[in-house]
Amino acid sequence: MGDFIQLGLGRWLHILAGVMWIGLLYYFNFVQVPALAEAAKDGTGAGITKHVAPRALFYFRWAAVVTWLAGAMILGAHFLDAFLFLKPTYYPIGVGAWLGTIMLFNVWVLIWPNQQKILGMKPATDEEKAKARRVAFLASRTNTMLSIPMIFFMVASGGVFRTVIFAM
Amino acid sequence: MKNPLDSLWGTVISGLVLTLVLYMIVKFALQ
């Protein structure tokens, strides 16, 4: 029963939350940022920043937390084997786990506090907003870049995929 | 030099290159 919850339900939850997290990350990068750039030309972006962005950011940042916690739950007693690369079996998932952890850090330390300034949830001068916009943008783009190897190593760490990719 | 993360294509290509580099490192470490 313990394994069913930790490995079965844990993996399910990890993937559900991960889809929401990375799905919203791709929404921001592939849809919202280019859309706001277009909207800035005719001044129609207010609806996106007022009604869409705060909701998307809410699910984005909390899905990131749930994804990481569910991932940590799946690793369980092997948490340090993965993060400290103590056993070769855990090298691939260790790389995926580190990439996911860096991405979680970017969400909560770089993206969310700066988005609060950009969206007017926190007081900020125009200069501070401009700086916040650049930092949040680059952190978001960094996460998009990191998501590519992160998903590769997550996929390559289990079952038949690990055999095919790493011959383990 | 332009930051590759300023464009979506640059971001995706950087991610693919990073994937290849990390894959080679892990593959080498597993030998």
- What's the pLDDT tens digit per position in A17-43? 999 999 999 999 999 999 999 999 999
pLDDT greater than 90 at residue A16: yes
- What per-residue confidence (pLDDT) applies to A53? 96
Q: Which band of pLDDT confidence, cut at 50, 70 and 90, is reported for residue A95?
A: very high
> What pLDDT is recorded for position B20?
98
Ramachandran category for residue A147: left, alpha or beta (phi over 0 → left; psi -120 to 50 → alpha): alpha
* A19 shares contact with chain B (CB less than 8 Å): no
pLDDT 10s digits, A130-157: 999 999 999 999 999 999 999 999 999 9
First and final C-alpha spacing in chain A? 27
> Which residue in this structure is represented by tokens 């990350």?
A25
Neighboring chain A residues of B27 at a CB cutoff of 8 Å = 166
Chain A, window 79-118: residues with a beta carbon less than 8 angstroms from a chain B beta carbon: 85, 88, 91-92, 95
Task: Specify the pLDDT at position A4.
Answer: 86
Give the mean pLDDT of chain A: 96
Question: Does residue A146 sit at the B interface (CB-CB below 8 Å)?
Answer: yes
State the nearest Cα–Cα gap between A84 and chain B, in angstroms: 14
Q: Which residues have CB under 8 Å from A130's CB, separation 6+?
A: none
Which pLDDT score is estimated for A2?
Answer: 84
| B11/A144 touch (CB, cutoff 8 Å), yes or no | yes
- CB within 8 Å: A145 and B8: no
Does A76 touch chain B if contact means CB atoms closer than 8 Å?
no
pLDDT band at A80 (very low <50, low <70, confident <90, very high): very high
Q: Which residues from chain A sit within 8 angstroms of residue B8, using beta carbons?
A: 29-30, 34
The pLDDT of A74-85, averaged and rounded, is: 97
pLDDT at B1: 82
CB contact under 8 A, A145 and B18: yes
Q: What is the pTM of this model?
A: 0.95
Closest CA to A26 of A56, A58, A52, A54: A56
What average pLDDT score do residues A40-68 get?
96
Confidence band of A121 (pLDDT split at 50, 70, 90): very high
Query: pLDDT class for A83, splitting at 50, 70, 90?
Result: very high
pLDDT of residue B19: 98
Residue A68 pLDDT > 90, yes or no?
Answer: yes
ipTM of the complex: 0.97
Cα-based angle B27, A150, A107 (whole degrees, multiple of 5): 145
Those of residues 1-31 in B touching chain A at CB distance below 8 A are 3, 5-6, 8, 11-12, 14-16, 18-19, 22-23, 26-27, 29-30
CA A103, A104, A105 angle in degrees (round to 5)? 90
Calculate mean pLDDT across residues A87-102.
Answer: 97
